[in-house]
Amino acid sequence: MNLPPRETRAHLDTTVARFRRAMQDADFDALDGLFAEDVRFNSPRAAKPVQGVRAISMVLWSAMSNFKLLRYVGHVGPSAGGADRRAAETHVLLFDAVGVRGAKLNGVDIIELDRAGRICALTVMLRPLDSIAAVRRLGAGR
């Protein structure tokens, strides 16, 4: 595994920890500064990725508004590189969530970080299928 130097990894791990806390606490303001300007978001709701920090901010605000509980239950990583060519490393966060209407779901956030420690790509995967349909109806991921 060809990971960045230890001092860089500490900065990258801080980004992931801040993202995790912000999402669990539904603290939208805590996400400020975590994303690269041209961040790419792959949503379970849309076939095409959402591009740019402004667009992803709206998506994450919607997600925070539509879940009454989000709890991270695991962290896999880091691994070197990622699907995005800019990624220095990738982390996978496993979560359980409950929607505002009681739908229960499990998912993963695949977080790709650039060398500056910013999130350059975020992919969210959800299960089960009926919960994904509920998320789509609520508008999360637009």
For 51-98, the pLDDT digits (tens) are 999 998 888 888 878 788 889 999 998 888 887 788 889 999 999 998
User: What DSSP designation does 139 have?
Assistant: T
- pLDDT tens digit sequence for 14-45: 899 999 999 999 898 999 999 999 999 998 87
Neighbours of 7 (CB within 10 A): 7
- Which CATH number applies to 6-138: 3.30.470.20, 3.40.50.11540, 1.10.357.10, 3.10.450.50? 3.10.450.50
pTM score, whole prediction:
0.81
